[in-house]
Amino acid sequence: MRGRDKTLVTGWFSFLHGEATAGDVLALRRVEEVLRGAGLPYDVVWSPGFRADALHFADLDPAAYSRLVFVCGPAHGPQVEELHQRFAHCVRVAVGVSVVDPGSPAVTGFHRVLARDAAGAVPTPDLAARAPALPARPVVGVILTHGQHEYGGQRRHEEVAAGLTGWLAGKDCARLELETRLDAHDWRLCGTPAQLEAVLARLDLVVTDRLHGLVLALRAGTPALAVDPVAGGAKVTAQARACGWPALVAAERLTEGVLEHWWDWCLTDGREEAGRIGAGFRSAEPVADAADALVAALGTRPAG
């Protein structure tokens, strides 16, 4: 492809010390949609810190391009100014950007600035708003513990947490780290059980190695992929058995194949099963728990 025919698309997602935000990447998708619709060939340059296997500034020949499009974010700073120097032979256009200082070399270096906001100008919707529709992805709550030292040498908590989080990092899902610990003063934590249950009820799946991560998910009707972090099985295994919940993985069997099997089940048949178990907790004839025997136990006379 001759240089005069090709466009390089860049933005803050392209710089080594920039950042790739969801909004910036969706803005990029909107620009790609427009370029494809116009039949204009283009390349996208990415930060090696975000996409190691993609095209990077260090890899490309500026002479291969005749146009440069800078997408989203502020048109400001030395990284943007360097683009004007390196691609001085290109027609340079900024699109969907914020103009903080219209006199800055980062701004004046562009031949055209199609701003989303600038002093004295009518703002336009951010490019991310009209980006192509995205496929739905499961929303997964992750509830892990690094404590429970009472299990001593049977603890496999660190190995389980590392295995689960490493595996989850490769799953195409929205991950939400949650805590069962309540705190009325820390805004990052729920202050009441009702607040946590409201979150759990809106999830597609919970991945947990905690007893209450399992129980509260099922109570909310949300399937739980539960891992017992204690060698030989302990309270998580016992609770899964008590609830009749099958998606349980032993610490010794924490493999990708086993996790994938229960992941698929939880997101299909598991949803109905979790709803059935959760409804059973609230039914007129629930399964007995320890509190059913409490009154009788309180009437016990001490020996002697």
pLDDT tens, the chain, 304 aa long: 444 689 999 999 999 887 789 999 999 999 999 999 999 999 999 999 999 999 999 999 999 999 999 999 999 999 999 999 999 999 999 999 999 999 999 999 999 999 999 998 999 999 999 999 999 999 999 999 988 888 888 988 999 999 999 999 999 999 999 999 999 999 999 999 999 999 999 999 999 999 999 999 999 999 999 999 999 999 999 999 999 999 999 999 999 999 999 999 999 999 999 999 999 999 988 889 999 999 999 998 887 6
Question: What pLDDT, on the 0 to 100 scale, is given for residue 4?
Answer: 61
CB 274 within 8 A of CB 217: yes
Instruction: State the maximum Cα–Cα separation within the chain, in Å, rounded to a whole number.
Output: 100
Quote the pTM value.
Answer: 0.86
Residue 136 neighbours by CB distance under 10 Å: 8
CB-based contacts of 168: which residues, under 8 Å, 6+ apart?
Answer: 140, 142, 175, 207
Residue 263 one-letter amino acid: W
Q: Which residues does residue 7 pair with via DSSP β-bridges, in sequence order?
A: 42, 67
Question: What pLDDT, on the 0 to 100 scale, is given for residue 1?
Answer: 40
